[in-house]
C-alpha cells in the first residue's frame, strides 16, 4: 500500500465537481472491469448530485458490463463526441491517447486523472495517480471515503468491487495487497454482491467462448526452454466458433498458468496486417518496457501493444524481446 493519501487532491477534485454541471467520465480503449467499474461508480455519485453525466470509453465493451449499476449512463461514441461538458474525469488511463483524446491535457480543459499505471503522464489538472494501487477502483474508493462515504450505495459498491476483483484476477495476481482485500471487505459491508460478481465476471463462460478457448489453447507454443509461451487468436478461429475478439479477454492468463513459464504473449489478429499483443510476466521481468518499445504500455506484469504485421512475424518480434528479457 502506498503512503500517499491524496487528501489535497481529493478536495481539489470535489471542488472541481462542485463548480461544474456537465461531466464526461471516460476511460481507456477496450475498457476492462476496473475501468468500467471506476467510471460507473463516479458517474452514479455525480448523477445523485444532480449533474449531467455520461460515460464513454472507446473500443469494444463487453455486454456483461451493461448489466452493472450505472450502465444507463454509458453513451455511444457519437453522443459522447457531441456531449457539451465542462469537466472530464478520466480513469485507468495513463495518457490521453488511451482515451482516444476524449480526455485532453489540462491546458485544454478541466480534467481529473485517476489512475494506477506507473507510466501515467500526469495530464490532469488534478492527478490522483498511485502506481502501487491494485486497481483504479482502489483510488476511487479512497476518494469516496475521503469526501463522501455516505455516497457509497450498494450500486457504487458493486462497481468498485468489480474493479478490484477483475484487476487482481479474482484476488490471485501479484498486485493483491492488504489494502485491496480490506477495501473489498468494506465494499461487501456497503452491499457489494461478492459471489454474484465473481460468478458472473470471473467464472461463467458462454459455450462459444469455451470452444474458442479450446482452439486458442491448441495454438500454445513454448520457447526459451519452456520459460516463455505464446498463443494466438486468428480471425478464422473467431469465424469457426461464432465469437468476436472480446470473447478472448483474459485468455492470456491460461498461458501464465503453465508450470515454469515466466513470460506469455497472446496474439490477436485485429485486422489484416494488424496484431494486438497482450503480455504477461509471472515474476520481475518488465513486460511494459517491451510494450513501450513498440508504442504500447501497461504494468510490469501485464502490458499490451499493437504491431502492424502478420501473426508469424509478430511472434518472432516478441519472442526475440522475451529472449532479451530473460537474458
* Candidate segments 27-35, 82-90, 215-223, 244-252, binder of Mn ion by CB under 5 A: 27-35
User: What burial class does residue 37 get, using C-beta atoms within 10 Å of its C-beta: 0-12 exposed, 13-18 middle, 19+ buried?
Assistant: buried
Binding range to Mn ion, per CB under 5 A, among 84-92, 106-114, 252-260, 286-294 = 84-92
Q: Which is closer to Mn ion, CB of 37 or CB of 155?
A: 37
| Stretch in the footprint of Mn ion (CB under 5 A) among 20-28, 56-64, 162-170, 175-183 | 162-170
Q: Does 92 bind Mn ion (CB under 5 A)?
A: yes
Say whether residue 30 binds Mn ion (CB under 5 A): no
The DSSP letter of residue 277 is E
CB of 31 to Mn ion, least distance (A): 9
Which residue has cell 471542488?
15
Tell me whether residue 31 or residue 321 sits nearer to Mn ion (CB atom). 31
Q: Are strands 126-129 and 111-115 parallel, antiparallel or unpaired?
A: parallel
Q: Which stretch binds Mn ion (CB under 5 A): 74-82, 135-143, 181-189, 215-223?
A: 135-143
From 313, 312, 316, 295, select the one nearest 304 (Cα to Cα): 295
Residue placing its CB nearer to Mn ion in the complex, 53 or 133 = 133
Residue 34 sits in the site that holds Mn ion (CB under 5 A): yes
Whole-angstrom distance, CA of residue 227 vs CA of residue 72: 45
CB atoms within 10 A of CB 240: 13
The residue from 16, 57, 136, 307 that contacts Mn ion (CB under 5 A) is 136
Rounded Cα–Cα distance for residues 115 and 185 (Å): 22
Least Å distance, CB 33 to Mn ion, is: 8
First and final C-alpha spacing in the chain: 31
Footprint on this chain of Mn ion (rule: CB under 5 A): 34, 92, 136, 167
Amino acid at each position: 500500500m502506498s503512503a500517499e493519501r491524496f487528501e489535497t487532491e481529493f478536495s481539489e477534485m470535489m471542488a472541481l465537481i462542485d463548480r461544474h454541471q456537465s461531466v464526461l467520465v471516460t476511460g481507456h480503449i477496450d475498457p476492462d472491469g476496473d475501468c468500467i467499474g471506476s467510471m460507473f461508480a463516479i458517474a452514479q455519485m455525480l448523477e445523485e448530485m444532480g449533474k449531467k453525466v455520461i460515460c464513454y470509453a472507446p473500443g469494444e465493451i463487453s455486454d456483461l458490463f451493461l448489466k452493472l449499476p450505472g450502465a444507463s449512463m454509458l453513451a455511444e461514441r457519437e453522443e459522447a463526441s457531441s456531449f457539451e461538458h465542462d469537466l472530464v474525469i478520466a480513469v485507468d488511463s495513463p495518457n490521453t491517447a488511451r482515451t482516444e483524446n476524449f480526455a485532453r491535457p489540462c491546458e485544454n480543459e478541466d480534467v481529473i486523472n485517476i489512475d494506477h499505471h506507473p507510466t501515467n503522464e500526469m495530464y490532469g489538472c488534478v492527478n490522483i495517480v498511485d502506481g502501487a494501487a491494485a486497481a483504479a477502483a482502489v483510488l476511487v474508493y479512497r476518494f469516496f471515503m475521503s469526501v463522501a462515504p455516505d455516497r457509497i450505495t450498494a450500486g457504487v459498491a458493486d462497481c468498485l468491487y468489480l474493479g478490484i476483483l477483475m484487476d487482481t484476477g479474482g484476488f490471485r495476481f501479484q498486485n493483491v495487497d492488504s489494502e485491496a482485500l480490506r477495501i473489498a471487505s468494506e465494499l461487501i459491508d456497503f452491499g457489494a454482491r461478492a459471489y454474484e460478481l465473481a460468478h458472473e465476471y470471473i467464472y461463467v463462460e458462454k459455450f462459444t467462448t469455451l470452444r474458442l478457448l479450446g482452439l486458442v489453447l491448441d495454438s500454445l507454443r513454448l520457447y526459451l526452454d519452456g520459460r516463455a509461451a505464446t498463443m494466438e487468436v486468428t480471425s478464422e478461429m473467431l469465424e469457426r466458433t461464432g465469437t468476436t475478439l472480446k470473447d478472448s479477454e483474459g485468455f492470456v492468463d491460461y498461458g501464465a498458468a503453465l508450470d515454469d513459464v515466466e513470460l506469455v504473449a497472446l496474439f490477436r489478429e485485429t485486422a489484416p496486417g494488424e496484431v494486438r499483443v497482450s503480455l504477461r510476466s509471472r515474476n520481475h521481468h518488465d513486460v511494459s518496457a517491451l510494450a513501450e518499445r513498440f508504442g504500447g504500455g501497461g504494468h510490469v506484469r501485464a502490458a499490451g501493444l499493437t504491431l502492424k504485421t502478420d501473426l508469424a512475424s509478430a511472434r518472432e518480434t516478441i519472442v526475440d524481446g522475451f529472449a532479451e528479457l530473460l537474458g
